[in-house]
């Protein structure tokens, strides 16, 4: 990175954070601090919802997913538009009618802060480790810088500052991703173009966007996406405070609904484009020199002996052969000779398989050299492209994309944590202070700052798995289904009391965990299973409980 | 304390005030139709390139 990159990076990231803090420095109303400005329109709400979900992991990991496994991951989002329709029609009107600050306030149960701390730590740690590795910056410095920046404006302006900065962060993210796509298309070999690159990617198995297979062991199909993804998205958008807080405020019910519909329309196309970028990166690297293992810092740490040199040499040869095979196939296609094309296609696929085998050998060699070595490198593909292929200035912009997305998701988490701790925890024990608005705002600020410091500390000392976008979706699928079940029971089964639903949630969660470790089914199904199990157990337990306990529950509820 | 409930919040019957749509149900149907169209386009994309 040169001076131009640094100017762009610091100008955008620090500038947006400073703007958010400055514009919201006079926020004194608890309502504005916790729910945002009451005049917020649907555009801001929509971008804020989008920015909250789009963490830095999205922009580092998704292109890597497209590069490694193709664009089938897009099916993961198929349930999202349907879930947002349900949130608009059922959840949002309910939250607004009850005029609550948090989703958990409605549920009447306190929030699990440990889980949220883990999520908050992940959103800081994940991009920090990748950015610091590739740029050679000290990891702890990146974590502390990112953390402090987000704490300053989130503590200052609360939810209003979060929504305000989200707009500009999404503008930076969009500009950066469009720039990356344009540069990638311009850097493709002469004569290949988008269509040629897409045909190569497709022939090499990277462009199967939809899979209608009914095999339950397949991770991404239309059915896991629509049914499992529906429940995952319903839990995330309907019950996760970091999202609920984005749309619960706003000028009116209409603004919240339109903001959510904005996401329902745009989310799948947006994720498709990012995954497609990864698949096209795969094609680009068939024609451009690239390392056998994209996390070069990790490779250089372990790859010292002749075995690694041999792997590098084999990889260079295999890439050259693959490149020749691709060119031969393209020529056969252009000549419109089906026989020659089929033969060239077989050769090209075999050459691609050979390259993949050598990459697997490289990872095995790393693991053999050091069992603790990080052997996943797909998250490093996109940032390697950014740093080696983009012009100066654009590099700064793309690194700013990573930071902007890290800050945007982090800010939502912190604002949500500060809100739930103040409303669901502190005020529970200090009911007499509930009427003192100024004191409530001060307490919310302190809790937000405290959570920010804890998240930074957690990120400094914790370690996480790599390839995070999938890991986070798996974790979410294990726990979100039961959480959604709690809300569905609360919404629609009014006769079910607190103890019955609590016990049901514990049993359902245990069931999901046992199933996860014993069955081989796509993880998205656990969203549906967890929700259904929680509802079913709640109804059964409510019927089985002694009448006196049921009466006590009714009064308690 | 938490503000009192808002009984006067616009209901489902309130028009969405979006050109071309008179009810929220119309908007939901449009979004659902868009989703179906996107899945069909992705299936066509898969058929062409994969």
The residue among A357 and A24 whose pLDDT is bigger is: A357
B20 touches chain A (CB under 8 A): no
Distance from CA of A409 to the nearest CA of B (A): 25
Q: Quick one: residue A383, left, alpha or beta (phi over 0 = left, psi -120 to 50 = alpha)?
A: alpha
Q: Please judge whether B49 and A198 are an interchain contact, meaning their C-beta atoms are less than 8 angstroms apart.
A: yes
Please give the span between the terminal C-alpha atoms of chain A, in angstroms, as a whole number: 59
Give the rounded percent of residues in chain A with a pLDDT score beyond 70: 86
**8 A C-beta contact, residue A155 and residue A456:** no
A200, pLDDT greater than 60: yes
Give the rounded percent of residues in chain A with a pLDDT score beyond 90: 13
Quick one: pLDDT at residue A128?
55
Chain A partners within 8 Å of B12 (Cβ): 89, 93
A202 touches chain B (CB under 8 A): yes
The residues, ordered by sequence, that sit 6+ positions from A436 with a Cβ below 8 Å of its Cβ are none
Chain B partners within 8 Å of A84 (Cβ): 31
- Element spanning A536, H or E: helix A525-544
Least confident of A251-255, A316-320, A469-473: A469-473
Q: Please judge whether B28 and A89 are an interchain contact, meaning their C-beta atoms are less than 8 angstroms apart.
A: yes
Q: Please judge whether B1 and A96 are an interchain contact, meaning their C-beta atoms are less than 8 angstroms apart.
A: no
B4, pLDDT greater than 80: no
Quick one: pLDDT at residue A116?
42
B15 touches chain A (CB under 8 A): no
Quick one: pLDDT at residue A297?
81
Instruction: Give the Cα separation of A372 and A364 in Å (integer).
Output: 12
Q: How far is CA A497 from CA A10, A40, A303, A482, in A?
A: 53, 37, 60, 16
What integer best gives the mean pLDDT of chain A?
Answer: 80
Please state which architecture CATH assigns to domain A3-285+385-461: Up-down Bundle (1.20)
Domain boundary assignment for chain A: 3-285+385-461, 296-374, 464-557
Chain B partners within 8 Å of A202 (Cβ): 48-50
Q: Please judge whether A261 and B39 are an interchain contact, meaning their C-beta atoms are less than 8 angstroms apart.
A: no
pLDDT band, very low/low/confident/very high, at A461 (cuts 50, 70, 90)? low
pLDDT band, very low/low/confident/very high, at A114 (cuts 50, 70, 90)? very low
Q: Please judge whether A434 and B1 are an interchain contact, meaning their C-beta atoms are less than 8 angstroms apart.
A: yes
Which residue is associated with the tokens 């490694």?
Answer: A68
pLDDT band, very low/low/confident/very high, at A119 (cuts 50, 70, 90)? very low
A340, pLDDT greater than 80: yes
Quick one: pLDDT at residue A109?
42
> Own/partner pairs for A2-8, CB < 8 Å, 24+ apart?
A2/A392, A4/A392, A4/A393, A4/A396, A5/A392, A5/A393, A5/A395, A5/A396, A5/A399, A6/A396, A7/A396, A8/A393, A8/A396, A8/A397, A8/A400
Q: Please judge whether A265 and B31 are an interchain contact, meaning their C-beta atoms are less than 8 angstroms apart.
A: yes
Instruction: Give the Cα separation of A198 and A207 in Å (integer).
Output: 8
DSSP, collapsed to helix, strand or coil, labels residue B21 as strand
Quick one: pLDDT at residue A56?
66
What is the arithmetic mean of pLDDT over A104-116?
48
Quick one: pLDDT at residue B8?
53
pLDDT digits (tens, 9 = 90+) for A408-425: 777 777 777 777 777 767
Nearest CA in chain B to A34: B2
pTM of the model: 0.80
Quick one: pLDDT at residue A556?
35
pLDDT band, very low/low/confident/very high, at A48 (cuts 50, 70, 90)? confident
Q: Please judge whether B24 and A269 are an interchain contact, meaning their C-beta atoms are less than 8 angstroms apart.
A: no
Least confident of A5-19, A80-94, A263-277: A5-19
Q: Please judge whether B46 and A101 are an interchain contact, meaning their C-beta atoms are less than 8 angstroms apart.
A: no
Quick one: pLDDT at residue A295?
83
Backbone torsions φ then ψ of A47, nearest 5 degrees: -65, -35
Instruction: Give the Cα separation of A469 and A477 in Å (integer).
Output: 12
Instruction: Give the Cα separation of A156 and A21 in Å (integer).
Output: 6
Backbone torsions φ then ψ of B21, nearest 5 degrees: -125, 130
A30, pLDDT greater than 60: yes
Tally of helices (H runs) and strands (E runs) in chain B: 1, 0
pLDDT band, very low/low/confident/very high, at A555 (cuts 50, 70, 90)? very low
**8 A C-beta contact, residue A404 and residue A166:** no
Candidates A34, A202, A210, A419, partner chain B, best to mutate (most B CBs within 10 A): A210
pLDDT band, very low/low/confident/very high, at A110 (cuts 50, 70, 90)? very low
A124, pLDDT greater than 80: no
pLDDT band, very low/low/confident/very high, at A129 (cuts 50, 70, 90)? low
Please give the span between the terminal C-alpha atoms of chain B, in angstroms, as a whole number: 58
Q: H helices of A54-102, where?
A: 56-69, 79-86, 92-98
Quick one: pLDDT at residue A546?
66
Quick one: pLDDT at residue B30?
95
pLDDT band, very low/low/confident/very high, at B46 (cuts 50, 70, 90)? very high
Quick one: pLDDT at residue A270?
93
Q: Please judge whether B50 and A208 are an interchain contact, meaning their C-beta atoms are less than 8 angstroms apart.
A: yes
Nearest CA in chain A to B6: A97
B2 touches chain A (CB under 8 A): yes
What is the arithmetic mean of pLDDT over A496-524?
83
pLDDT digits (tens, 9 = 90+) for A51-98: 888 776 677 788 988 998 899 999 989 999 999 999 999 888 888 887
CB count, 10 Å around CB of A402?
28
Chain A partners within 8 Å of B24 (Cβ): 88-89, 257
Q: Please judge whether B28 and A85 are an interchain contact, meaning their C-beta atoms are less than 8 angstroms apart.
A: yes
Candidates B5, B45, B47, B48, partner chain A, best to mutate (most A CBs within 10 A): B45
**8 A C-beta contact, residue A395 and residue A176:** no
Show the tokens assigned to A549. Answer: 């306990």
A273 touches chain B (CB under 8 A): no
Find residues 472-491 of chain A whose CB sits inside 8 Å of chain B.
none
Most confident of A95-99, A254-258, A288-292, A375-379: A254-258
**8 A C-beta contact, residue A366 and residue A375:** yes
Chain A partners within 8 Å of B16 (Cβ): 254, 257-258
Q: Please judge whether A81 and B46 are an interchain contact, meaning their C-beta atoms are less than 8 angstroms apart.
A: no
A118, pLDDT greater than 70: no
**8 A C-beta contact, residue A220 and residue A211:** yes
Instruction: Give the Cα separation of A220 and A75 in Å (integer).
Output: 6
Nearest CA in chain B to A95: B5
């Amino acid at each position: 990175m040169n001076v131009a990159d640094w100017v762009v990076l610091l100008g955008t990231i620090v500038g947006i954070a400073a703007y958010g803090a400055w514009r919201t420095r006079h926020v004194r109303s608890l309502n504005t601090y916790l729910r945002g400005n009451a005049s917020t329109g649907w555009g801001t709400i929509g971008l804020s919802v989008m920015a909250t979900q789009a963490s830095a992991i999205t922009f580092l990991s998704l292109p890597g997913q497209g590069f490694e496994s193709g664009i089938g991951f897009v099916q993961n989002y198929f349930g999202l538009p349907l879930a947002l329709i349900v949130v608009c029609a059922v959840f949002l009107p309910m939250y607004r009618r009850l005029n609550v600050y948090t989703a958990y306030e409605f549920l009447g149960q306190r929030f699990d802060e440990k889980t949220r701390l883990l999520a908050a730590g992940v959103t800081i740690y994940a991009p920090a480790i990748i950015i610091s590795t590739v740029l050679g910056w000290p990891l702890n410095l990146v974590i502390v810088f990112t953390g402090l920046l987000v704490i300053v404006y989130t503590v200052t302006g609360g939810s209003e500052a979060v929504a305000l900065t989200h707009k500009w962060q999404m503008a930076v993210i969009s500009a950066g991703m469009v720039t990356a796509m344009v540069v990638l298309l311009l850097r493709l070999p002469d004569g290949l173009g988008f269509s040629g690159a897409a045909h190569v990617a497709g022939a090499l198995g990277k462009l199967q966007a939809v899979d209608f297979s009914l095999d339950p062991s397949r991770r991404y199909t239309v059915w896991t996406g629509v049914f499992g993804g529906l429940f995952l998205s319903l839990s995330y958008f309907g019950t996760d405070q970091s999202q609920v807080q984005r749309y619960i405020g706003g000028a009116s019910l209409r603004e919240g609904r339109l903001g959510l519909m904005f996401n329902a329309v745009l989310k799948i196309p947006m994720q498709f484009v990012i995954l497609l970028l990864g698949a096209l990166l795969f094609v680009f690297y068939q024609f451009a020199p690239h390392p056998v293992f994209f996390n070069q810092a990790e490779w250089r740490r372990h790859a010292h002996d002749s075995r690694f040199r041999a792997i590098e040499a084999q990889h260079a040869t295999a890439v050259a052969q693959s490149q020749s095979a691709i060119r031969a196939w393209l020529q056969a296609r252009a000549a419109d000779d089906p026989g020659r094309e089929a033969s060239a296609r077989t050769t090209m696929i075999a050459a691609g398989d050979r390259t993949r085998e050598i990459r697997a050998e490289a990872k095995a060699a790393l693991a053999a050299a050091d069992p603790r070595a990080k052997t996943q490198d797909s998250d490093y593909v996109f940032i390697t492209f950014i740093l080696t292929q983009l012009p100066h200035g654009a590099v700064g912009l793309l690194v700013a994309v990573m930071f902007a997305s890290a800050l945007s998701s982090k800010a939502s988490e912190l604002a949500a944590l500060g809100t739930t701790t103040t409303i669901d925890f502190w005020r529970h024990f200090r009911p007499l202070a509930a009427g003192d608005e100024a004191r409530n705002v001060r307490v919310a600020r302190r809790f937000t700052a405290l959570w920010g410091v804890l998240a930074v500390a957690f990120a400094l000392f914790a370690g996480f798995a790599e390839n995070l976008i999938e890991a986070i979706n798996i974790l979410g699928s294990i726990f979100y289904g039961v959480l959604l079940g709690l809300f569905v029971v609360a919404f629609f089964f009014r006769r079910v009391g607190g103890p019955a639903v609590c016990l049901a949630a514990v049993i359902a969660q245990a069931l999901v965990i046992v199933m996860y470790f014993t069955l081989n089914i796509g993880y998205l199904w656990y969203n549906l299973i967890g929700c259904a199990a929680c509802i079913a157990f709640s109804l059964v337990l409510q019927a089985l409980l002694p009448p006196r306990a049921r009466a006590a529950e009714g009064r308690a509820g | 304390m938490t503000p009192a409930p808002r009984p006067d919040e616009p209901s489902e019957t309130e028009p969405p005030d979006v050109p071309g749509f008179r009810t929220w149900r119309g908007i939901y149907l449009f979004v659902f139709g868009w989703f179906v169209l996107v899945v069909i386009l992705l299936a066509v994309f898969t058929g062409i390139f994969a």
